[in-house]
């Protein structure tokens, strides 16, 4: 997980207006979006029910180094995670695709599937930073295209036209495999958007190492949907989220034939 040093919308037009207001506020002072008075509840999940089997760990095992993040199966052959999780933390070079695995549904010493990467996609121009600022967050998303389709049910992304239905009252669930609990997923059960800046959300969804790339889930009439992904920790109570509006189109065009794909 990368740490930020800096430190609600009824319609899409209002979402953009709110974002511009919060951008100006965050540039003036780091306390413009204040931390909440109390943490939302954190739960450890020990279940094989949907969606837990389809959320898992993005593992990298290379020469003298290992790392882990969180990822979500969002299509039969596609895993969504944070872009910085697909780069070496020290050298900031792309991880070798053959050393990246998605271990779905990790639950103690068991898992639902061990899935190998065929290629990796990150946004054009993305450069991982050791200490990213809020302006760096909006393109911190990446895709792992799998060698084979998974039989697990995907957790579908929120549709772009649903942006107007979000408000300050909307509550989300933030999921991740934290380093303090590597073998069971944890969920911040009811967190919210505190503000928006540089096309990213600032939330009171507390996070920690290992939870980068984890989904921000929203309960809809059609079931759970991925509304965003965790990029960075701001402080002990706040995190920076990449909204679905930033990566939804990227996901729709995902393929190993893309010029941006890194293959085995």
If one counts the domains in the chain, the total is 2
pLDDT at 111 over 50: yes
Per-residue pLDDT reduced to its tens digit, 200-221: 999 999 999 999 999 999 999 9
Give the C-alpha separation, 6 to 23, whole Å: 12
- Residue 258 confidence (pLDDT): 73
- In this structure, what CATH number is given to the domain that contains residue 206? 2.40.10.10
* Same-domain status, 259 and 142: yes
**Whether residue 239 is found in the same domain as residue 161:** yes
Q: What is the DSSP letter of 97?
A: G
Strand segments (E) across 110-248: 113-121, 142-146, 172-176, 186-191, 193-197, 200-203, 215-220, 223-233, 239-243
CA distance 228 to 247: 9
Half-sphere exposure of 206 (CA within 13 A, CB side): 14
Is the predicted pLDDT of residue 241 greater than 60, yes or no? yes
DSSP H helices in the chain: 12-28, 244-252
Residues 151 and 254 in one domain: yes
Tokens at 202, concatenated: 């600032």
**pLDDT mean over 138-147:** 97
Residue 38: pLDDT band by 50, 70, 90 thresholds?
low
Question: pTM (2 decimals)?
Answer: 0.85
Q: Is residue 105 domain-shared with residue 135, that is, in the same domain?
A: yes
Measured distance CA(1)–CA(208) in Å, rounded: 7
Cβ-contact 117, 100 below 8 angstroms: yes
Q: What is the pLDDT of residues 116-142, one digit of tens each?
A: 999 999 999 899 988 888 998 999 999
Whole domain around residue 173: which residue ranges? Answer: 2-47+156-245
Question: Which tokens sit at 32?
Answer: 């413009």
| Averaged pLDDT score across all residues of the chain | 85
**203 plus 254 within the same structural domain:** no
pLDDT of residue 89: 83
């Amino acid at each position: 997980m990368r740490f930020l040093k800096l430190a609600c919308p009824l319609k899409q037009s209002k979402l953009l207006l709110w974002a511009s207001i919060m951008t100006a506020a965050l540039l003036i002072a780091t306390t413009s979006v204040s931390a909440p008075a109390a943490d939302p509840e954190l739960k450890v999940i020990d279940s094989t029910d949907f969606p837990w089997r389809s959320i898992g760990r993005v593992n990298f095992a290379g020469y003298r180094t290992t790392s882990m993040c969180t990822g979500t199966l969002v299509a039969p052959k596609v895993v969504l995670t944070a872009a910085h999780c697909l780069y070496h933390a020290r050298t900031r070079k792309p991880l070798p695709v053959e050393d990246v695995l998605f271990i779905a549904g990790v639950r103690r010493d068991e898992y639902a599937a061990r899935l190998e990467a065929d290629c990796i996609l990150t946004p054009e121009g993305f450069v991982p930073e050791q200490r990213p600022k809020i302006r760096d967050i909006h393109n911190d998303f990446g895709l792992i295209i799998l060698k084979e389709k998974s039989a697990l049910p995907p957790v579908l992304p929120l549709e772009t036209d649903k942006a107007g239905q979000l408000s300050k009252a909307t509550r989300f669930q933030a999921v991740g495999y934290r380093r303090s609990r590597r073998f069971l997923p944890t969920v911040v059960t009811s967190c919210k958007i505190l503000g928006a800046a540089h096309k990213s959300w600032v939330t009171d969804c507390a996070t920690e190492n290992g939870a980068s790339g984890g989904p921000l889930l929203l309960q809809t009439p059609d079931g759970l949907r991925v509304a965003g992904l965790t990029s960075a920790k701001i402080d002990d109570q706040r995190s920076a989220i990449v909204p679905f509006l930033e990566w939804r189109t990227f996901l729709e065009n995902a393929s190993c034939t893309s010029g941006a794909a890194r293959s085995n």
